[in-house]
Amino acid sequence: NAGVTQTPKFQVLKTGQSMTLQCAQDMNHEYMSWYRQDPGMGLRLIHYSVGAGITDQGEVPNGYNVSRSTTEDFPLRLLSAAPSQTSVYFCASSYPLTGGNSPLHFGNGTRLTVT
């Protein structure tokens, strides 16, 4: 298993540009989520999904959209990038959802800079 794969690893955007951060997992996990991490801070939850076709907001959802059309993929979209979105983004997944105590598996992150 490749685990959780995030692409790209690095990205530079200009203010106002749009882009999609990709996340894929090959573990048949029901649950997927996106976090951002800013310098000196912990991870903050952006959006999450408990299964295909179902998404919900986390702590810091503004400026981001998500969709979940398949179990494997959970892309994060920035429609109009802002410098405040400069951060490291992590995708995570977990299975099974029921049973209650499954740990999260993380990707290695996408480092985004918005100028």
Partner 1 sequence: DAKTTQPPSMDCAEGRAANLPCNHSTISGNEYVYWYRQIHSQGPQYIIHGLKNNETNEMASLIITEDRKSSTLILPHATLRDTAVYYCIVRLPNTGNQFYFGTGTSLTVIP
Interface with partner 1 (CB under 8 A):
4, 31, 33, 35, 37, 40-45, 48, 50, 56, 58-59, 88, 90, 92, 94, 97-109, 111
Residue appearing with tokens 């298993």: 1
Closer CB to partner 1, 17 or 73, in the complex: 73
What's the maximum distance between 2 C-alpha atoms anywhere in the chain? Answer: 44
Closer CB to partner 1, 77 or 105, in the complex: 105
Instruction: Output the smallest distance, CB 81 to partner 1, in A.
Output: 20
Which residue in 111, 103, 81 sits closest to 33, CA to CA? 103
Residue appearing with tokens 């109009």: 80
Q: What distance lies between CA 79 and its chain's CA centroid?
A: 15
Closer CB to partner 1, 17 or 37, in the complex: 37
